[in-house]
Amino acid sequence: MADYRTPTKDLLFALRTAGMIDQISASKRYEHATYDVVEGVFEEHGRFFNEVWAPTNALGDTEGLEWSEEGVTTPESFKDAWAKYVEAGWQGMNLDPDYGGMGFPEVVYGLSAEATIGSNAALSMLPGLTTGAVELLQNWGTEEQRERYLPKMITGEWSGTMNLTEPQAGSDVGLSTTRAVPQDDGSYRITGTKIFISFGEHDLTENIIHLVLARTPDAPAGTRGISLFLVPKFLLEEDGSPGERNDVKCVSIEHKMGIHASPTCVLSFGDEGGATGWLVGEENQGLNAMFTMMNAARLAVGVQGTAIASAAYQKAVDYAGERLQGREVGSDQRGPAPIIVHPDVRRMLLEMKSYIEATRNLTTHLAASLDMSRTTEGDDSEGWDERVEILTPVAKAWCTDVGVQVTSTALQVFGGMGFIEESGVSQHFRDQRITPIYEGTNGIQAMDLVGRKLPIRGGAAFADLVAEMRRIVDELEGVEEMAASRAEIQAAFDELDTATKWIMEHGIADPRDALAGATPYLELFGLTAGAWLMARQALAAREELANGADAGKEFLEGKITTARFFCEQILPKVRSLTPAVTSGHEILYEIDAEALAST
């Protein structure tokens, strides 16, 4: 079975269609990020991860991790792969050039992350978390903190973590009890336990910079009393080099369904009196600072859903072309045919490919919207900010739900062999299954969408976005091959209007009604937004075909076909979602907890 292959051609197509790269690179901030420059970067970036990281993926899954009181030992193959990654300088793709980063736009970073994740999902979590930690310190750290920590984190010599969850405080961060006591020298003594800390301990970097939520002695209760602290694994010497070990240790690692080579740690702070940490940002404003990292992580997890699905699709389509089984219906050829000729297998593959392109378009558009918010001013900037707010929970949740579905379908293409570990596709399914759970479960993302994002500007921000999306119906008028797609898109917007009005009206009267329909509502919106972007994809491909673009006739015609398949065969699902959105909460409570538990 072939190793992972970065879908560079697909990434570049998404960049120039959904990614708004020409508009973004027209700004002074990103003037170096022209399409031609990024094209060269993607070619080299993809080659690196194909050749260096992809061969370590199955090895890491099999070898796993070893915990001891001294720390966590990662798979041997990871050490060489990480060293080459640091040497190549890929960690700083979207980070501040003042501290050694390349300063590329988020949309370039997001698309490039497909290769990082698709080649090795477990190992990719280390650079992903470090990037988020750097972005947080860029925005909230003091100049001294930035100067002391960012250069080494941007090279990948040091890594970063996010420490939110505690045994009694999962998504409800307000229940956190980790303590931070101020010291005379301006530092704090941190004591407490954090769980589910990805790459909280490992042997790949010479220091680990923990970003930890904790409470100061007189902090208010709940989320209003949470502060953020920088707690390095090794305290720094005067010259900035790692010195004495801080009072933080990994007391265990989790044994997980997937991402076996990513250490998920239980960290104990202060077993010997207190870990030394420093306040980041203002006291009691820690959650605001942490949201910088959390929102970046939610976009990254959306990309992860697409990336793992794409890796699984590659294995499925390769297998379908090689596996001989059954005669081709309607053919005079004798003997078994490759299963890729059978209608149901072809349906599965086209459905997978269409979903992958739709989710890639959504995360690409979201990342590009973030870049546009940073390069425009006044009301225009506010509009892009609002779009980022609205699309973030959708990208995280819909793209990962779809990612699980696509990865499961890839396993189905293999038939019985898909259930066998040696096929490789089962690892992708195990690795993918965490994505709808972490960085805020998808149910929480749905509640965020209906509870916080729909009401932005009294609902006007959402209405403005949908009005822009609806213009695609007019743009498709007269495009004969897209007539059926256009009709389905129009119908989907009508369903979205009905569901949105119901949520807005009934959610005010009884929030339980909005929350009961939140998950199907997010799926309805995700499908509709996906169709909008897939229709734009088809129009862009038609234009490139007419202009004789370098992408090639077969490639561009394929983009039109996947767009049509999505709009005509996947999008109609929205009709079945509206009743679930608008049914209210009553039926959920007609059966009590005791009856639910009875068998």
First vs last C-alpha separation in the chain: 44
In whole angstroms, what is the distance from residue 74 CA to residue 99 CA?
A: 28
User: Does an H or E element contain 119, and which?
Assistant: helix 106-119
**Amino acid (one-letter) located at 549:** A
Active site residues: 439
In whole angstroms, what is the distance from residue 153 CA to residue 208 CA?
A: 9
Q: Where are the alpha helices (DSSP H) in 323-434?
A: 343-375, 378-414, 425-432
In whole angstroms, what is the distance from residue 391 CA to residue 532 CA?
A: 13
Residue found by looking up tokens 């697909």 in the block: 10
> Are the beta carbons of 373 and 585 closer than 8 angstroms?
no
In whole angstroms, what is the distance from residue 412 CA to residue 36 CA?
A: 39
Q: Identify the burial level of 342 via C-beta atoms within 10 angstroms of its C-beta, where 0-12 means exposed, 13-18 middle and 19 or more buried.
A: middle
| Packing angle, helices 518-546 and 378-414, rounded to 10 | 90
> Are the beta carbons of 452 and 461 closer than 8 angstroms?
no
Using CA atoms of 191, 194, 197, 201 in order, give the dihedral in degrees to the nearest 10: 40
Handedness of CA 527, 528, 533, 537 (dihedral sign): positive
**If DSSP codes are grouped into helix, strand and coil, which group holds residue 26?**
coil
